[in-house]
């Protein structure tokens, strides 16, 4: 389902829905102001910005407090360091908005991010709306901030699709998405990953659902359950979020056995959920196979406890793959190989942005 974006008359702030924007903050003093400024400058002004200081040791806590002192829409929560999942959960517990959004503390939102995402949700009745994003390097931050402040044009199309869990699991190879678009299938619109940013959620989706604390891949861990709660998703074809590529981020530098094991655990959880719901677990196949293979490259893989963990995960992987039909296994293996090739290109071009 698609359609042109319809411009509606702006309503008074008092009658506009309240959106809670949750930003976990940890040692982000170099980029935090760009992020916060982009949120407070949103064209949809009825928002509450919840900054969760997760025990930062730089000037981030003071920066958060400065914003709270001059803008009543900002709430700051200081807590001992517990990881991003704990910070996200703290934000969810404190949120009072009708809708929920997340942002990373070093990223930048287009000034129309919330407005366009909200419009897509309310006009289509979807459970979640999403937009496109673009990566950028540290050297581009001033230009990106200016572009975001100027604001994107209204989207030309809103696409609504059903079965979000199926889309999450099967539409993830970039080359296949490009091919689908060339064939007129609008495949890119059905693509989304486990990231929580550049999305707008109806509040009720998060009732009784929280991120698992104390592990990596917390977003992957909840993805299956979250998307299985949705009936339909709305996509708008415009870039509304700018994702900083920094060598300091966990996903770009963390290479411990624990990191790979947690990714395996999260992938396996989604794998089993898909089997229960009759969905081919293409993305989760890629995650579990890759995580087990990459455990052998971890800097601490020679420790006996990590060897034992690797053997345990290998056994579970074998059990999971045995549950696939032959056609499912072939399809999953093909997309996994294709995605590995794409990842090689991605790592060389995107993760090395400066």
What pLDDT does residue 246 have? 79
3-state secondary structure of 47: strand
pLDDT of 352 > 70? The answer is: no
252-311 pLDDT, tens digit each: 566 899 999 999 999 999 999 999 999 999 999 999 999 999 999 999 999 999 999 999
Do 52 and 91 form a contact (C-beta atoms < 8 A)?
Answer: yes
204-262 pLDDT, tens digit each: 999 999 999 999 999 999 999 999 999 999 999 999 999 999 766 555 566 899 999 99
What pLDDT does residue 301 have? 95
The DSSP bridge pattern shows strands 99-102 and 108-109 to be: unpaired
What pLDDT does residue 348 have? 75
Q: Could you tell me which residues come within 8 angstroms of residue 119 by beta carbon, excluding any fewer than 6 positions away?
A: 5, 8
Report the 10 Å Cβ neighbour count for 213: 14
What pLDDT does residue 351 have? 61
**For residue 217, what is the DSSP state?**
-
Which residue in 81, 93, 76, 80 sits closest to 23, CA to CA?
76
Out of 8-22, 31-45, 252-266, 301-315, which region has the weakest mean confidence (pLDDT)?
A: 8-22
87-105 pLDDT, tens digit each: 999 999 999 999 999 999 9
Which residue in 40, 38, 36 sits closest to 51, CA to CA?
36
What pLDDT does residue 347 have? 76
What pLDDT does residue 253 have? 60
What pLDDT does residue 97 have? 98
Domain edges within the chain = 17-250, 254-349
Q: 181-196 burial, b if ≥16 CB within 10 A, otherwise e? A: eeeeebbbbbbbebbb
Instruction: Give the confidence band of 10 by pLDDT, cuts at 50, 70, 90.
Output: very low
Average pLDDT over the chain, rounded to whole?
93
CATH of domain 17-250: 3.90.550.10
Q: Which residue has the higher pLDDT, 315 or 348?
A: 315
Task: Count the alpha carbons within 13 Å of 335 in the hemisphere toward its beta carbon.
Answer: 21
pLDDT of 8 > 50? The answer is: no
Do 292 and 336 form a contact (C-beta atoms < 8 A)?
Answer: no
% of the chain at pLDDT higher than 70 = 92
What pLDDT does residue 353 have? 64
Q: pTM of the entire structure?
A: 0.92
What pLDDT does residue 144 have? 98
What pLDDT does residue 14 have? 52
157-187 pLDDT, tens digit each: 999 999 999 999 999 999 999 999 999 999 9
What pLDDT does residue 345 have? 85
Residue 36 φ then ψ, to 5°: -65, -45
Name the strand (E) or helix (H) holding 313. helix 304-321
Task: Count the alpha carbons within 13 Å of 209 in the hemisphere toward its beta carbon.
Answer: 18
Which residue in 207, 211, 248, 251 sits closest to 88, CA to CA?
211
């Amino acid at each position: 389902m698609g359609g042109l974006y319809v411009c509606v008359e702006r309503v008074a702030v008092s009658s506009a829905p309240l959106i809670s924007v949750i930003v976990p903050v940890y040692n982000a003093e170099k980029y935090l102001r760009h992020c916060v400024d982009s949120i407070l400058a949103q064209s949809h002004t009825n928002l509450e910005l919840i900054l969760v200081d997760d025990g930062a040791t730089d000037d981030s806590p003071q920066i958060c407090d400065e914003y709270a002192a001059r803008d009543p829409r900002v709430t700051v929560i200081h807590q001992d360091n517990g990881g991003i999942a704990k910070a996200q959960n703290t934000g969810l517990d404190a949120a009072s908005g009708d809708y929920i959004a997340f942002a990373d503390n070093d990223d930048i939102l287009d000034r129309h991010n919330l407005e366009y995402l909200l419009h897509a949700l309310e006009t289509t009745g979807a459970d979640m709306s999403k937009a496109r994003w673009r990566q950028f390097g540290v050297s581009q931050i001033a230009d990106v901030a200016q572009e975001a402040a100027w604001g994107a044009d209204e989207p030309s199309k809103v696409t609504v699709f059903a079965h979000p869990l199926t889309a999450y699991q099967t539409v993830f190879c970039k080359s296949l998405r490009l091919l689908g678009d060339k064939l007129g299938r609008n495949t890119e619109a059905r693509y989304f990953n486990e990231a929580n940013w550049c999305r707008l959620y109806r509040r009720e989706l998060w009732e009784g659902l929280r991120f698992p604390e104390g592990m990596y891949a917390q977003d992957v861990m909840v993805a299956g359950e979250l998307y299985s709660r949705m009936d339909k998703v709305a996509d708008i074809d415009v870039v509304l979020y700018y994702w900083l590529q920094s060598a300091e981020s966990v996903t770009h530098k963390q290479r411990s056995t624990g990191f790979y094991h947690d990714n395996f655990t999260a992938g396996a959880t989604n794998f089993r959920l898909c089997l229960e719901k009759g969905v081919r677990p293409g993305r989760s196949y890629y995650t579990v196979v890759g995580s087990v293979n990459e455990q052998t490259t971890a800097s601490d893989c020679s420790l006996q406890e990590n060897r034992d963990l690797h053997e345990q995960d290998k056994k579970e992987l074998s059990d999971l793959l045995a549950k696939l039909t032959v056609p499912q296994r072939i399809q999953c293996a093909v997309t996994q190989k294709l995605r590995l090739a794409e990842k090689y290109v991605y790592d060389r071009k995107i993760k090395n942005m400066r």
